[in-house]
Amino acid sequence: MKKIDIENLDKLPGIQIKENETFKFRCHPEVSCFNRCCRNLNLFLYPYDVVRLKQSLNISSDKFLDEYVDVVLRPANYFPEVLLRMSATREKNCPFMSTAGCTVYADRPDTCRAFPVEQGMLYDAQQKKDTPVYLFRPPDFCRGQDEDEEWSIPEWTRDQDAEFYHQMTIRWVEVKRLFQNDPWGLEGPEGSKAKMAFMAAYNVDRFRNFIFQSSFLRRYKLKSVLLKKLKTDDVQLLKFGFEWIKFFVWGIKTKNIRLR
Ligand code: SF4
Ligand code: SF4
């Protein structure tokens, strides 16, 4: 999800779709470009995407990260990006693409749900509030833009079953924004503190082991209701992971984590 500065809003590629505005689009298996948008992508995965995909594939988050993603730390960034690894063939297909379409459709990433709309975040520093910005941006080859079906952003979001995905992405953007400044000090972004933050965001199964099998619970007191949820519920664990990152990296207090 793009961070958007107010000065750059008019310069962004694509057409901004405001509240009460609509765009025309329809994708179906008969389009001549079927599946073309699932190739050669820089597809960023958010933490909730990883949870849904590893559940869909019935594998651990560890295995998913090993087999399906590239973790990239861009220069001058303090938290890595997680990209879905395209196939090593000339076409560079998405690993989940089949001739019949997406094999993980019910659990496809947030970006795939929003497509051909890109969601960005405009941050109001005074109000300390994010406002989503939507850009209709189909690639030139996408013939779905020639169709007559008309959508507002809420209608499209509902149709793509993306509401909860968007909520989770916004939660993550709020945490990720804190990484604009270097929180790692001498350890750097490859140090143990950074690895802990990455685990809490992207590797829920390993994070669960950390909570229940390390000295964590001897050092921190968590409510029993929450502990029970963390044992089995990946989404609760991810939400807790976001709180833990804020607490562990920046000391931001939360009612859910108390020192013993
Ligand atoms: S390129 Fe557009 S119309 Fe073609 S399959 Fe992808 S989303 Fe559908
Ligand atoms: S996850 Fe599915 S929808 Fe997204 S790029 Fe891959 S095949 Fe296409």
pLDDT tens sequence across 124-170: 777 777 788 999 999 999 999 999 999 999 999 999 999 999 999 99
pLDDT-derived band at 10 (thresholds 50, 70, 90) equals low
Average model confidence (pLDDT) across the chain? 93
| Residue 139, preceding peptide bond in cis (omega within 30° of 0) | no
Q: Using a 6 Å cutoff on CB, does residue 97 contact ligand 2?
A: yes
* Rounded Cα gap, residues 65 and 54, in angstroms: 9
Contact 47, 170 (CB under 8 A): no
Percent of the chain with pLDDT over 90: 84
Instruction: Flag whether pLDDT at 253 surpasses 80.
Output: yes
Q: Using a 6 Å cutoff on CB, does residue 96 contact ligand 2?
A: yes
Residue of 24, 37, 40 best suited for mutating to test ligand 1, as the one with most atoms within 8 Å of CB: 37
CA of 226 to the centre of ligand 2 (A): 34
- DSSP symbols for 171-208: HHHHHHHGGGS---GGG-TTSHHHHHHHHHHH-HHHHH
Residue 52 neighbours by CB under 8 Å, 6+ apart: 107, 109
pLDDT-derived band at 121 (thresholds 50, 70, 90) equals confident
Residue 232 neighbours by CB under 8 Å, 6+ apart: none
Q: What are phi and psi of 159, to 5 degrees?
A: -60, -35
What pLDDT was estimated at residue 8? 62
Burial 88-127 (b: 16+ CB within 10 A, else e): eeeeebbebbeeeebebeebbbbbbbbbbbbbbbbbeeee
| Eight-state DSSP code of residue 251 | -
Contact 44, 111 (CB under 8 A): yes
* Rounded Cα gap, residues 206 and 50, in angstroms: 13
CA of 37 to the centre of ligand 1 (A): 6
pLDDT tens-place string over residues 186-209: 999 999 999 999 999 999 999 999
CA of 170 to the centre of ligand 2 (A): 21
Q: What is the atom index within ligand 2 of the atom nearest the CA of 96?
A: 7
Residue identifier of the C-alpha nearest atom 2 of ligand 2: 102
What pLDDT was estimated at residue 212? 98
Q: Using a 6 Å cutoff on CB, does residue 144 contact ligand 1?
A: yes
Q: Using a 6 Å cutoff on CB, does residue 249 contact ligand 2?
A: no
Between 37 and 14, the higher pLDDT residue: 37
Residue reference for tokens 């509240």: 19
* pTM greater than 0.75 (yes/no): yes
Residues 152, 158, 161, CA angle at the centre, nearest 5°? 140
Pairing state of beta strands 117-124 and 129-136?
Answer: antiparallel
Q: How many residues does this entry show for the chain? A: 260
